[in-house]
Structure 1
Amino acid sequence: MNDGNTTLYGVLGHPIHHSFSPAIHTAAFEANGLNATYLAFDVAEDQLEKAVDGLVTLDAKGWNLTMPHKTKMCGLCDELSEAAAIVGAVNTVVNDHGHLTGHITDGAGFTAMLRAQNFDVKGKRVVLFGAGGAARAVAVQLALDGAAALSIVNRTLSKAGMLADLISANTACDARAIALSDEKAAAEQILAADLLVNGTKLGMAPNPDTCVLTDPALLQNKPVLADFVYNPLNTRFLQMGREAGCRTFDGLGMLLWQGALAFKLWTGEDMPVAAVRQRVFHQ
């Protein structure tokens, strides 16, 4: 029950009605016995600074950012984590008496999810499909966590090239860009990969039959497959992986673990991820 000692957290976005974050964090607070509340705030793009000032005034201890605020929030922080500085985006803010530290937990949540299932990206060869905002955060974190090689396969080669250049300039990872239309070059990297990641919207409802992979033979060496998409959970990409005998990770894991890292930054406690998944998503 909320009272005069309840700690305030929240998420800012526009629109925001679709966000699962309030349900996820409310379940985590209740599971851990914390006197805290998490609210969703619909904040227009030109109102972000005012909203942040309001949260600081109200002594909110932290908040998340979703579209369209992740990039602009960087300029409102007093300090950025290494990943947030490289990516140029913030999805989690810690408020320490008005000192705002910005983090990006999308990528770190993704690699934490993998580690929780005993898969460490250090020294691994990775193929990432996509170069959008979430893919950018995951690509940077894969490199920071020690991936040996990262091939970014994208419909627009120039966008993948800019991301590969960013990674090469800031990490020791061997990053390269490949056009999705260059099937031969993509196939060579897929066959050599330890991990394949779908960071695109292909496979997402209402087009669940779409897939970044078209040839199941490319999975003959049984890489691990991970998908950003969580609607549906059982994407065509992951179906192909399971049919080939590969380990697979659905998009709900990434969603929960990026929230778990924000929860840890704010409270110092571990989110009971499996319990929250069951309570919120019945999975």
Structure 2
Amino acid sequence: MKKLFAVIGDPIAHSMSPVMHNDLFSLYNIDAHYLPFQVKNDDLQAAVNGLRAIGVGGFNVTVPHKSNIIPFLDGIDELAENIGAVNTVVNEGGKLIGYNTDGPGFLKGLMTQIPTIEGKKILVIGAGGAARAIYFTLAKENPRGIDIANRTVDKASDLIQSCPYPVVSNAYSLLEAENHLADYDLIIQTTLIGMSPKTAEQPIELTNLMQQALVCDIIYNPLETQFLQDAKRKGASIQNGIDMFVFQGALAFEKWTGIFPDVIRMRDNILTQLGGNSC
């Protein structure tokens, strides 16, 4: 009998995960199918119970359910608990266990660009769910420091205070971050600023950017945001959100099947869907 895997969220029609995962099931001759389900907040518990009842092999969780789903699961791992969000659920012997592969996925993608972040000075722009997952994950990798810049400085401070891992951090306004840009080896843009259709926007000016820096933007539509275009013009290396998306999906697939999949194939598949070439 074909095994069911899924992604739940609202909205969900835009998700590229079904094409990506169904291709992998075909590649590895796994008798399974991956489907998207639009689930409203009020129906979340019923949806989880329904997936449990039909013996789902696992499923992904996207906005707005990553935090709200936690009470309806049988357990979550340490990183997901610390982040307070789940993006991957595995059916482990009838128990639904939640994981967060967003931060680890970003880190694995980052490692395709640089060998280590140990000793690096890092700036994270934004203080939302993606920033939290990335910040907590990188904090465990012995960086020289990770500062957080946000429109609301108090929110950046709250994120720093909530981190269970020891790391030197400062909370800055966006303007303060602009003035400190020359201090950073790695800059990570985690907000929705610059996403299609508002592609002319960017979170901060890069006037003081260090030329040797690596600048990441977790947005992948457009493939090269205005933020990344400006960074490239200033001589910095850049990375868009494709690698984070691919590696978080690869880690989820591994948790479901025990197979770490062909990430190059996954990346090419996503690029084909987006109709472009990655930066």
- Asked if Structure 1 and Structure 2 have the same fold, meaning a TM-score greater than 0.5 normalized by the shorter chain, the answer is yes
Q: Which residue of 1 aligns with 2:133?
A: 137
Q: Which digits, 9 at most, give the CA deviation of each residue in 1:31-58, with x for residues without a partner?
A: 2222211011111112112211111221
Q: Which residue of 1 aligns with 2:157?
A: 161
Q: Which residue of 1 aligns with 2:46?
A: 50
1:280 aligned onto 2:270: yes
What CA distance in whole angstroms lies between the structure 2 residues aligned with 1:220 and 1:145?
22
Please report how far the alpha carbon of residue 215 of structure 1 lies from its aligned counterpart in structure 2 after TM superposition.
3.5
Unpaired stretches in structure 2, ≥5 consecutive residues: none
**Retained in 2: the 8 A contact 1:14–1:42?**
yes
Please report how far the alpha carbon of residue 112 of structure 1 lies from its aligned counterpart in structure 2 after TM superposition.
0.8
What CA distance in whole angstroms lies between the structure 1 residues aligned with 2:55 and 2:227?
44
| TM-score normalised to structure 2 length | 0.92
Q: Which residue of 1 aligns with 2:212?
A: 222
Q: Which residue of 2 aligns with 1:68?
A: 64
Please report how far the alpha carbon of residue 178 of structure 1 lies from its aligned counterpart in structure 2 after TM superposition.
0.5
**Retained in 2: the 8 A contact 1:93–1:102?**
yes
Task: Please give the secondary structure, in 2, of the residue aligned with 1:60.
Answer: coil
Please report how far the alpha carbon of residue 147 of structure 1 lies from its aligned counterpart in structure 2 after TM superposition.
2.6
Report the residue type matching 1:132 in the other structure: G
Q: Which residue of 1 aligns with 2:252?
A: 262
**Retained in 2: the 8 A contact 1:9–1:61?**
yes
What CA distance in whole angstroms lies between the structure 2 residues aligned with 1:145 and 1:58?
39
**Retained in 2: the 8 A contact 1:27–1:280?**
no
Report the residue type matching 1:175 in the other structure: S
Paired residues in the alignment total: 273
Please report how far the alpha carbon of residue 281 of structure 1 lies from its aligned counterpart in structure 2 after TM superposition.
2.3
What CA distance in whole angstroms lies between the structure 2 residues aligned with 1:135 and 1:166?
13
When residues 145 and 99 of structure 1 are mapped into structure 2, their CA distance, relative to the original with a 3 A threshold, is farther
| TM-score normalised to structure 1 length | 0.91
Please report how far the alpha carbon of residue 12 of structure 1 lies from its aligned counterpart in structure 2 after TM superposition.
1.0
Report the residue type matching 1:214 in the other structure: E
**Retained in 2: the 8 A contact 1:31–1:272?**
no
1:173 aligned onto 2:157: no
Selected match of 1:213 from 204, 208, 212: 204
Task: Please give the secondary structure, in 2, of the residue aligned with 1:72.
Answer: coil
**Retained in 1: the 8 A contact 2:178–2:205?**
no
Q: Select the structure that is richer in helix.
A: 1
What CA distance in whole angstroms lies between the structure 1 residues aligned with 2:178 and 2:233?
21
Task: Please give the secondary structure, in 2, of the residue aligned with 1:219.
Answer: coil
Q: Which residue of 2 aligns with 1:232?
A: 222
1:33 aligned onto 2:24: no
- RMSD of aligned alpha carbons: 1.6
What CA distance in whole angstroms lies between the structure 2 residues aligned with 1:132 and 1:40?
24
**Retained in 1: the 8 A contact 2:223–2:240?**
yes
Report the residue type matching 1:208 in the other structure: T
- After TM superposition, list the pairs within 5 Å mapping 1:56-205 onto structure 2: 56-167=52-163, 170-182=164-176, 186-188=178-180, 190-205=181-196
Task: Please give the secondary structure, in 2, of the residue aligned with 1:71.
Answer: coil
Please report how far the alpha carbon of residue 66 of structure 1 lies from its aligned counterpart in structure 2 after TM superposition.
1.0
When residues 35 and 117 of structure 1 are mapped into structure 2, their CA distance, relative to the original with a 3 A threshold, is farther
Unpaired stretches in structure 1, ≥5 consecutive residues: none
User: Taking every aligned residue pair, what percent have the same amino acid on both sides?
Assistant: 37
When residues 255 and 133 of structure 1 are mapped into structure 2, their CA distance, relative to the original with a 3 A threshold, is same
Please report how far the alpha carbon of residue 221 of structure 1 lies from its aligned counterpart in structure 2 after TM superposition.
4.1
Report the residue type matching 2:173 in the other structure: A
Task: Please give the secondary structure, in 2, of the residue aligned with 1:75.
Answer: helix
Report the residue type matching 1:116 in the other structure: T
What CA distance in whole angstroms lies between the structure 2 residues aligned with 1:272 and 1:30?
12
When residues 221 and 280 of structure 1 are mapped into structure 2, their CA distance, relative to the original with a 3 A threshold, is closer
